[in-house]
Amino acid sequence: MLISCVVYQDGRKLADIEPQDIHRYLVQPGCFVWVALLEPDARALELMQAEFNLHPLAVEDARHGHQRPKIEEYGELVFVVLHMIEAGDAQLRIGEVAVFVGPNYILSVRSGVAKGFQDVRSRAESEPDLLRRGPGYVLYALMDAVVDRYFPLLQGVEAELERIEEQIFAAIAPRANIEALYELKQRLMVFRHAVVPLLESLGNISGTRVPLACAGMQEYFRDVSDHLQRLNQTIESIRDSVSTAISVNLSMITLQESENMKRLAAYAALIAVPTLIVGIYGMNFDDMPELRWRYGYAAVWGVMAALDAYIFYRLRKAKWL
């Protein structure tokens, strides 16, 4: 539940502390506290709310989850919700991380995914000059890590789309291709729901007016915004490609059905001529030509064979057979 609770001073790690001791370090100059929680219960969130004086609405959002990505301000508190996406066995796993940022603290609450932010902590501790900027830099590092994790997953979607496109033109499993393409569309919607709202909200901390906790970090958040714009463009490009692939696949199915209908019509034409002749001579009329002809049977077979051979030749030349 509690992953870490660390206090930093002037860009360097000071000590690991207990959550109930957080308030003692918040009043010390040059210090800030970084707490990371994993799927905490209500009691743990109440303790954090008491230690950091968190806004109850933000705590409620973090407790219940299922929030859209957003950046909100509650006085000096900046509340950020990010969607975390991981590759699962069959589908994407979607989690959330709620981040509370104040002038001298940052609290991250992660739920729904396994991979944490140990690499972010290592990166931040290896850059004391940047870490000295306080919680605003940690927020940037967390957002940058979450956004960068989207790129390899989207590359996987692009590779899957290329594989399906090869199957489409090879006329392999058209129904399975349609199902796979719609699954890709669903994955892209997951990415879109994670990227677009965050991109819209990022202007709150990357513009001219920024919260105190994020002061001086505008250029870093603009870098995150640039990554999100690239992701959004990639998502839209893949979506267009998926829609095109679905249309092409349906067209290939229609062409295949048309070819089958042409073959069936060709075989029906080959059968129709003998059926017509046999039907005529099967009528029960007394006065019909060739009924008493000695070579009539052989002549009828010859005529039917000749006509079918001619029809087969013309159909073959027209590539219907």
Each residue of 280-317: pLDDT tens digit? 777 776 777 777 777 777 888 888 888 888 888 888 88
Which residue carries 């002809």 as its tokens?
293
- All CATH 3.30.460.20 domain ranges of the chain, comma separated, are 1-126
User: Which residues of the chain does CATH 1.20.58.340 include?
Assistant: 259-317
State the pLDDT confidence band at 70, using cuts at 50, 70 and 90. Answer: very high
Torsion of CA 73, 96, 59, 42, to 10 degrees: -170
pLDDT at 235 over 90: yes
Number of H helices, E strands in the chain: 11, 7
Is the pLDDT confidence value at 207 over 70? no
Q: What is the mean pLDDT of residues 165-181?
A: 83
Q: How far apart are CA 131 and CA 135, in angstroms?
A: 8
How confident is the prediction for the chain on average, in pLDDT?
87
Q: Does position 246 have pLDDT exceeding 80, yes or no?
A: yes
Question: How far is 202 from 218, CA to CA, in rounded Å?
Answer: 10
Residue 6 has pLDDT above 90, yes or no: yes
Question: What CATH number matches the domain at 1-126, 3.30.1280.10, 3.40.50.1370, 3.30.460.20, 3.30.450.20?
Answer: 3.30.460.20
Nearest residue to 213 (alpha-carbon basis) of 97, 120, 78, 81: 78
Res 311: pLDDT: 84
Q: How far apart are CA 182 and CA 161, in angstroms?
A: 11
pLDDT of res. 57:
93
| Superfamily of domain covering 259-317 | Magnesium transport protein CorA, transmembrane region (1.20.58.340)
> Which residue, 205, 199, 37, is CA-closest to 106?
37
pTM of the model: 0.79
